[in-house]
Chain A
Amino acid sequence: MASVATTAPRPRRRRTKLQRRQTRIAWLLLLPSLAVVAGVALYPLGRTIYESFTNQEFLALSPTRWVGLANYRELIHDTLFIDSIWETIKFTLITVGFEFALGLVIALVVNSRFRGRGVMRAVMLVPWAIPTVVAAQMWKWMLDDTFGVINDLFMRLHLIARPHAWIADPSTSLASVCAVDIWKTTPFVALLLLAGLQVIPEDLYEAAKVDGANVLQQFRRITLPLLKPAILVTLIFRTLDALRVFDVFYVFFGNRPDTQTMAIYDQSTIVGDGHVGYGSAVSVAIFAIIAIFVVIYVTLNRVREA
């Protein structure tokens, strides 16, 4: 980003006056955005942090009190929350891994030249256009233990002998939500990677071909290194998104305790139970966990570049 130079008009004469004027216009133009950022993000974030030190309740009839670190002390021993962290991390690793692998394959396919490529590019985007909640409903229906098509298909293929309760059975419940997320989000990953692939100049491949590099070598030496920025952006995007997953789990499991994500737990604490104070502490913890992931990515990237 910073490598692109700005090309603002700057005649040499009257430089300082013009610059001052420019600065003023720039801030004026930024004003609405900054107001939104402050109103929708910064103020609520500050409030969340503040409320995490109080015992605020939703249906409370008694006044809210400052309770210091009490919420955080409780949080450390909250096994439901700790379970939900692991559940979320498991979900994140599985889905981001699969989505990246599948997305890369799809991106490479639709980036190569073949008849019907336009149609394929459109088809690949269909799952992405379907609202997550709707996708979750669809899959819940497909995975239904009695009337679901997945059981029927698998039984026809003799993969299973009897209908399986994919969502109910704890051994497959995580896999079943992952399947929905992977189906729904792989197109987005493919899209970002495809955009990255298109930036790679064609003549690099031509030159490699002249040098006698085979396709695999081309992929290793040209595609992968040049795709790295896109890969990084994609992975960060997806990881952060997966860590805050809510919709699919909510539709599939409701308040079921063994399959809660951090976001589900937080939402049910604040909106369901009405514990605004404690729920805010949960929010702050989620914020910190996600920040840790960002730091990990950024450091990994720095280390590799160094």
Chain B
Amino acid sequence: MTAAGQAVRPAARPVSLGRRLRKNPLGRLALRAPFYVLISAIFVYALFPFYWVVRSSFTPEGRLFQTPIQYFPSHPTLANYRGALSASFFTDALLNSAIVAGSVTLLSLAIGSSAAFALGRFKFHGRSFVLYLVLSMTIFPQIAILGALYTTITRLNLYDTLGALIFSYLIFTLPFTIWVLTSFMRTLPGDLEEAAYVDGATPLQVFWKVLLPLIAPGLVTTGLLAFISAWNEYLYALSFIQSPNHYTVPLAITSFVSKTGSAFAVPWGQIMAATVIITLPLIVMVLVLQRRIIAGLTAGAVKG
């Protein structure tokens, strides 16, 4: 940890030397240089694997299996994208994942915000019990209930349907949503709400008209986190989904290995193209909402 501190702020030397260096522009550069080296290192570390995916996705299948390796595709092609998008199980999967992740997000926001309203703005017996119950759900190992969830889902006739996933994903999205939104609810000042009550508003109206707009940043953050975790989930999808037309994106990606009849049984080019296609929306979303996510977490989870 101390090493980390030094690395980040190289000025962690005797103060006098630091001061002397800082006075001179070249010295300032020398001070900043290791910092920028570090930034570049992080930049490359975070992005190189993704660059590699993009390069592989544009490389013709035959050339992927060639050495020496080309760091830039010399014969870029869209064949891999064509292949990936013409696999019906993959395009189905995009739609399925959007449906599942979207419904899970909306459901956990709807259910979670009303729970957060109760937990954050009301005082009643059993409140802390419910909070602890919710907290204990966040530490819940999903694998531990796989078998029982399986029987439950079969009994409910949800096996091999998207409903099975929407139902089971709530186990990890809902607790987090309740937790963060409750923190948000609690930080709001009481006067607005009181004024509304004095004007004769019902709790539901207060919730809908006064509180919900105020916690909008929290809704965005938790919604995004819920969306991403539902979009990425694999274990339950693998266990509860069977027909390829109900595959979600992670299932589809791992199925590419077997789904094409080409001479190369592992169509890495198509897998990489599919990876680019499904990752771009998430990256765009994260880029656009990056500031919101950090702000939301600052206000919510970490403070708790």
Contact = CB atoms under 8 A, between A and B. Distances in A.
Tell me, yes or no, whether A and B come into direct contact in the complex with CB atoms closer than 8 A: yes
Interface of A: 1-2, 4, 6-10, 19, 22-23, 25-27, 29-30, 32-34, 36-37, 39-41, 43-48, 51, 101, 104-106, 108-109, 112, 114, 116, 118, 120-135, 137-139, 141-142, 146-147, 149, 152, 183, 187, 191-192, 194-196, 198-199, 212, 214-216, 219-220, 223-224, 229-230, 233, 236, 240, 243-244, 246-247, 250-251, 262-263, 266-267, 270-271, 276, 279-280, 283-284, 286-287, 290, 294
Contacts of B130: 30, 34
Given A141-B56, A147-B67, A219-B5, A286 B144 contact: yes
Contact of A138 (B49, B174, B193): B49
A36 B112 CA distance: 10
A246 B123 CA distance: 40
A266 B150 CA distance: 13
B100 interface: no
18 contacts: A2-B128, A6-B122, A7-B193, A26-B122, A33-B134, A101-B4, A123-B46, A124-B42, A126-B46, A126-B47, A131-B249, A132-B250, A149-B71, A191-B297, A192-B297, A267-B238, A270-B150, A290-B139
Given A9-B197, A219-B9, 8 more contacts: A51-B148, A108-B8, A127-B49, A137-B253, A147-B66, A271-B150, A271-B238, A280-B147
A14 to B, nearest CB: 13
B137 A43 contact: no
A243 B151 CA distance: 24
Q: Residue among A39, A45, A141, A240 with the most chain B CB within 10 A?
A: A141
Interface string B276-304: 00110011011100110110011001111
Given A106-B42, A212-B15, A121 B290 contact: yes
Nearest to B301: A233
Contacts of A118: 290-291
Interface stretch (B76-84, B212-220, B226-234): B226-234
A125 B275 CA distance: 16
B257 to A, nearest CB: 9
A48 B167 CA distance: 18
A270 B154 CA distance: 14
Contact of B228 (A8, A46, A129): A129
Given A8-B121, A43-B152, A215 B11 contact: yes
Contacts of A183: 45, 49
Contact of A4 (B122, B133, B186, B286): B186
Contacts of A39: 152, 167
A128 B282 CA distance: 10
A79 B231 CA distance: 35
B125 interface: yes
Closest 7 CB pairs of A and B: A7-B190, A47-B148, A44-B148, A29-B118, A195-B297, A44-B145, A33-B115
B146 interface: yes
Contacts of A137: 253-254, 271, 275
B183 interface: yes
A127 B46 contact: yes
Contacts of B223: none
A133 B231 CA distance: 11
Nearest to A245: B143
A41 B293 contact: no
A33 B111 contact: yes
Contacts of A279: 146-147
B105 interface: no
Interface string B136-168: 010111111111111110000000000000011
Given A41-B140, A270-B147, A121 B114 contact: no
Contact of B171 (A25, A41, A130): A41
Contacts of A147: 64-67, 69, 268
Contacts of A10: 123
A33 B174 contact: yes
A233 B286 CA distance: 22
Nearest to A25: B203
Contacts of B124: 19, 22-23, 26-27
